[in-house]
């Protein structure tokens, strides 16, 4: 087999197995990197030997750098800077003092505990400062925690990538100079770090501004080519920054992503989707190649003492760093503990460690292989332990919350306005959409943020910030419109919590179509929205009693004059829907067309009947 064909098959097989791993991880609901690592090791040189990344030679470095450029740009593009305003102090401290503290502590511990030379210990410490959005962002999507905690973790993960990676590069440069018996001054070492940050920052901002301005001229760049033009721009910024100052392309990619999102370019949502797909492909190829090239014996040879090192990093260094960085902030000790728990290492640490291994080998470092071995061990342990247990740990700390998670309500009817008001009272951002100007004005007078327009129009949903929404509620009088809105939110914006109202599931839009959208029936039963528009409606809050079965009574048994709209659990509001279970001490907010006394009597009768059954 020719060398060119071997290279082609290596890339093709890495992409195929990588995407298969992505599919399996989605099905199994576990972090993708766990499956990618497993696949890479199995098909690599240690076991089946299906692919051998060494055939790529110097091309491996190019693949890593181009993939890293895409990954970092996409992560920065998806970071909402407006959301960071209330968390800027915590994020700033974590990516400054937190990085410095983590670097120093891990360097010292790894030198004395596992016997790394000071040079490799300091380099390993720098690598371990990086968490990374490729692991943190997917993890946070599966967790129901307050928006502020999510913003802190996401902001830290995205900003710490270039800061930590370039710190590691600067340390590596000092090692290279010292190995050549060159004198390294403090100023030179500091400039090696900040010079790269500054160079990357300038290049990334300039390229982003120029490109975004050009894209605003619709006749200049065809819409079907805009995504590819941006991709070329990302690689151009990365390359230019590398040309000015080596390894500054990392910062250029992040700076370009952060700048691009502020420029309000046309087709931004399509760009995000395109870059998200490219990032998934890049991570898949990169992790499979890196894992396939891994020397398992070198990891095993590190022994139990290396496992102890990673445990100390996870459960001692990280918590101390977080608690010191967030000292005198509004975060509670439980919130600080949860932030401490979530620090999985990802693709950037793996990629940079692999690049350094090539250089250290060339310099003749006998224990060069220990760097990627310890790095991959840290990745495996942090992703497996922290990634798989984060949601459960949040539940133990009682930090599961929908607070701060945006809800879009479509339909400014009396039902829609009541739902929006209740959600808004519990400090969840909510925006209401309707084509009826009169109803929109009524909602606006109640202090609800509104948009007049058709929710089936994607531009209206974009104006409503649909890409930031966690939940969509569709309560227009038209069942077909409600289902279409839920389907659009699910397919185009990835909103999985879609709750449409249906009048009669046996006619028109029904359960079968609803199931295809991934939605759930709001209120847990069919509702004629118009019938609630012209009658007096009262709000009634009912605490689910201890004697109520965990699954509660069937929502369909509740009187048509009584509508359960919101469940409050631990002060966190969620729309009542067909897949929801009520537990003792939950509070259910009802809308009632009867008196409060009649409502209480009806619920009491339902409970009595439940006991008899």
Q: Using CA of residue 238, residue 242, residue 246, residue 248, what is the dihedral sign?
A: negative
372 shares a domain with 326: yes
Q: 276 with 328, same domain?
A: yes
Summarize pLDDT for 229-276 with one digit per residue, the tens: 899 999 999 999 999 988 789 889 989 988 887 766 666 777 777 888
More confident residue, 505 or 490: 490
Q: How far is CA 354 from CA 197, 293, 358, in A?
A: 21, 9, 7
Q: Looking at residue 551, what is its pLDDT?
A: 47
**In-domain check, residue 367:** yes
Q: Between 64 and 554, whose confidence is greater?
A: 64
Residue 550: per-residue pLDDT: 47
481 φ/ψ angles, rounded to the nearest 5 degrees = -65, -40
Give the closest residue to 155 by CA, choosing from 176, 136, 174: 136
Q: What is the mean pLDDT of residues 577-602?
A: 86
Q: What average pLDDT score do residues 359-366 get?
A: 79
pLDDT-derived band of residue 337, with 50, 70 and 90 as boundaries? very high
Q: Region 163-189: what's the mean pLDDT?
A: 75
* pLDDT reported for residue 273: 77
CATH number of domain containing 8: 1.20.1530.20
Hunting for tokens 């030379």 — which residue is that?
117
Domain hosting residue 333, numbered range? 3-396
**Joined tokens for residue 221:** 């760049």
Q: State the DSSP code for 544.
A: P
86 token code pair: 């209330």
User: For residue 158, is it within any domain?
Assistant: yes
Mean pLDDT of 319-328: 95
Beta bridge partners of 592: 538, 562
Least Cα distance to 235 among 253, 208, 251, 221 occurs for 253
**Together in a domain, 327 and 425:** no
Question: Which one of 340, 367, 396 terminates a domain?
Answer: 396
Q: Give the full edge-to-edge strand order of the sheet including 572-575.
A: 538-543, 587-592, 562-569, 572-575
User: Does 412 share its domain with 392?
Assistant: no
CATH code, domain carrying 413: 3.40.50.720
Instruction: Select from 358, 343, 356, 348 the least CA-distant residue to 310.
Output: 343
Give the C-alpha separation, 258 to 205, whole Å.
8
C-alpha dihedral, 357 to 359 to 360 to 364, nearest 10°? 130
As for how many domains the chain has, the answer is 2
Buried/exposed 249-268: b ≥16 CB within 10 Å, e otherwise: bbbbbbbbbbbbbeeebeeb
Per residue in 11-50, pLDDT tens? 999 999 999 999 998 888 787 888 998 999 999 988 898 9
- Of 489, 61, 32, 77, nearest to 280 (Cα)? 32
d(CA 559, CA 262) in angstroms, rounded, equals: 50
State how far the Cα of 465 lies from the Cα of 458, in Å rounded to an integer. 11
- Listed range (144-153, 368-377, 430-439) with the worst mean pLDDT: 144-153
555's tokens? 């929502």
Residues 379-392, mean pLDDT to the nearest whole number: 88
Q: What is the pLDDT of residue 545?
A: 83
Average of pLDDT values for 423-432? 86
CA 391 to chain centre: 14
pLDDT greater at residue 486 or residue 3: 486
Q: Using the 3D structure, point to which of 338, 361, 396 is the last residue of a domain.
A: 396
Q: Are residues 447 and 361 in the same domain?
A: no
Q: Do 114 and 170 share a domain, yes or no? A: yes
CA distance 43 to 350: 18
Q: Are residues 490 and 389 in the same domain?
A: no
**470-495 burial, b if ≥16 CB within 10 A, otherwise e?**
bbbbbbbbbbebbbbbbbbbbebbeb
Residue 500 pLDDT more than 70?
Answer: yes
Helix, strand, or coil (residue 575) = strand
What is the pLDDT at residue 134?
A: 76
422 and 371, same structural domain?
no
Does residue 192 fall inside a structural domain?
A: yes
- Grade residue 158 by pLDDT with cuts at 50, 70 and 90: confident
Mean pLDDT, range 263-291, rounded to an integer: 81
Same structural domain for residues 74 and 217?
A: yes
Place of tokens 């509001």: 573
Which residue, of 372, 396, 420, is where some domain finishes? 396
Query: Bigger pLDDT: 331 or 217?
Result: 331
Residue with tokens 């199995």: 42
Please give the Cα distance from 568 to 401 (Å, whole number). 10
Residues 539 and 562: their CA atoms lie apart, in Å, by 10
Average pLDDT over residues 370-387: 90
Q: What is the mean pLDDT of the chain?
A: 85
Mean pLDDT for 396-404 is: 77
The answer to whether the beta carbons of residues 232 and 69 sit under 8 Å apart is no
**Residues 267 and 69 sit within 8 Å (Cβ to Cβ):** no
Whether 401 is covered by a domain: the verdict is no
- What is the reported pLDDT for 480? 86
Please provide the size of the chain in residues: 613
pLDDT of residue 559: 85
As beta bridge partners, residue 469 has 406
Q: Is the pLDDT of residue 543 over 90?
A: no
Tokens of 219: 């006749």
Tell whether the torsion through CA atoms of 103, 108, 112 and 117 is positive or negative. positive
**3-class DSSP state for residue 461?**
helix
Q: What are the pLDDT digits (tens) for 95-146?
A: 999 999 999 999 999 999 999 999 999 999 999 998 877 788 788 877 878 8
Which of 286, 275, 355 shows the shortest CA–CA distance to 73?
A: 275
On whether both 293 and 377 belong to a single domain, the answer is yes
| 98: Cβ contacts below 8 Å, ≥ 6 apart | 129, 156, 321, 322, 324, 325
CB atoms within 10 A of CB 156: 28
In a domain, 274, yes or no: yes
DSSP-derived 3-state class of residue 471: strand
In this structure, the answer to whether residues 459 and 370 fall within a common structural domain is no
* C-alpha distance from residue 311 to each of 317, 370, 386, 389, 461 (Å): 9, 17, 11, 15, 45
Q: 415 in a domain, yes or no? A: yes
**440 belongs to a structural domain:** yes
Lowest model confidence (mean pLDDT) among 153-157, 183-187, 464-468:
183-187
Q: How confident is the model at residue 356 (pLDDT cuts 50, 70, 90)?
A: confident
133-141 vs 59-77: helix crossing angle, rounded to 10: 40
Rounded Cα distance, 604 and 68, in Å: 60
Question: Do residues 424 and 534 share a domain?
Answer: yes
Q: What crossing angle do the helices spanning 414-425 and 437-445 adopt, rounded to 10°?
A: 30
- Give CA separation, 37 vs 126, 254, 296, 512, in Å: 22, 25, 12, 38
| pLDDT for residue 518 | 63
């Amino acid at each position: 087999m020719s060398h060119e064909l071997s290279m082609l098959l290596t890339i093709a097989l890495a992409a195929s197995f990588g995407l298969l791993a992505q599919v399996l991880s989605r099905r199994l609901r576990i972090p993708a990197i766990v499956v990618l690592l497993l696949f890479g090791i199995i098909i690599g040189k240690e076991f089946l030997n299906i692919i051998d990344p060494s055939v790529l030679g110097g091309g491996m470095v190019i693949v890593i750098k181009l993939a890293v450029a895409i990954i970092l740009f996409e992560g920065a593009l998806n970071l909402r800077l407006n959301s960071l305003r209330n968390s800027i102090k915590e994020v700033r401290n974590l990516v400054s003092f937190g990085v410095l503290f983590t670097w120093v502590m891990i360097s010292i511990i790894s030198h004395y505990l596992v016997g790394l030379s000071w040079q490799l210990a300091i380099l390993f410490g720098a690598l371990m400062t990086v968490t990374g959005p490729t692991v943190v962002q997917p993890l946070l999507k599966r967790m129901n925690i307050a928006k502020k905690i999510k913003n802190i973790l996401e902001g830290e993960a995205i900003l710490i990538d270039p800061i930590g990676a370039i710190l590691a590069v600067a340390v590596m440069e000092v090692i290279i100079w010292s190995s050549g018996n060159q004198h390294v001054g403090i100023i030179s070492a500091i400039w090696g770090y900040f010079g790269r940050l500054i160079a990357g920052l300038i290049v990334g901002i300039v390229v982003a501004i120029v490109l975004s301005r050009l894209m605003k001229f619709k006749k200049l760049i065809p819409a079907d080519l805009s995504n590819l033009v941006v991709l070329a721009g990302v690689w151009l910024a990365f390359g230019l920054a590398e040309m000015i100052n080596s390894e500054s392309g990392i910062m250029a990619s992040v700076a370009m992503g952060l700048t691009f999102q502020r420029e309000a370019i046309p087709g931004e949502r399509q760009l995000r989707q395109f870059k998200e797909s490219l990032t998934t492909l890049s991570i898949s190829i990169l992790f499979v190649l890196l894992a396939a090239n891994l020397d398992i014996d070198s990891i095993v040879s590190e022994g139990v003492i290396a496992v102890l090192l990673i445990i100390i990093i996870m459960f001692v260094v990280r918590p101390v760093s977080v608690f010191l960085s967030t000292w005198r902030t509004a975060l509670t000790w439980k919130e600080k503990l949860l932030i401490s728990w979530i620090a999985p290492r990802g693709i950037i640490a793996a990629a940079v460690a692999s690049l350094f291994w090539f250089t250290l080998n060339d310099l003749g470092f006998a224990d060069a292989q220990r760097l990627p071995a310890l790095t991959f061990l840290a990745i495996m342990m942090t992703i497996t332990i922290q990634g798989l247990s984060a949601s459960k740990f949040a539940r133990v700390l009682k930090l599961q919350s929908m607070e701060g998670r945006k809800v879009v309500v479509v339909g400014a009817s009396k039902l829609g306005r009541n739902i929006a008001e209740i959600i808004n009272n519990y400090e969840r951002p909510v925006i209401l959409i309707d084509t009826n100007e009169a109803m929109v004005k009524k909602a606006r007078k109640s202090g609800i943020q509104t948009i007049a327009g058709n929710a089936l129009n994607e531009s209206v949903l974009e104006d409503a910030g649909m890409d930031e929404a966690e939940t969509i509620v569709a309560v227009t009088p038209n069942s077909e419109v409600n289902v279409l809105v839920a389907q659009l939110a699910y397919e185009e914006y990835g909103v999985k919590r879609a709750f449409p109202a249906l009048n009669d599931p046996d006619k028109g839009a029904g359960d079968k179509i609803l199931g295809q959208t991934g939605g759930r029936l709001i209120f847990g039963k069919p509702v004629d929205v118009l019938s609630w528009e012209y009658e007096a409606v009262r709000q009634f809050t009912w605490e689910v009693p201890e004697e109520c079965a965990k699954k509660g009574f069937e929502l369909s048994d509740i009187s048509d004059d009584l509508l359960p709209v919101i469940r409050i659990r631990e002060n966190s509001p969620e729309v009542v829907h067909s897949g929801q279970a009520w537990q003792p001490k939950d509070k259910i907010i009802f809308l009632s067309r009867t008196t409060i006394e009649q409502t209480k009597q009806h619920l009491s009768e339902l409970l009595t009947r439940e006991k008899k059954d």
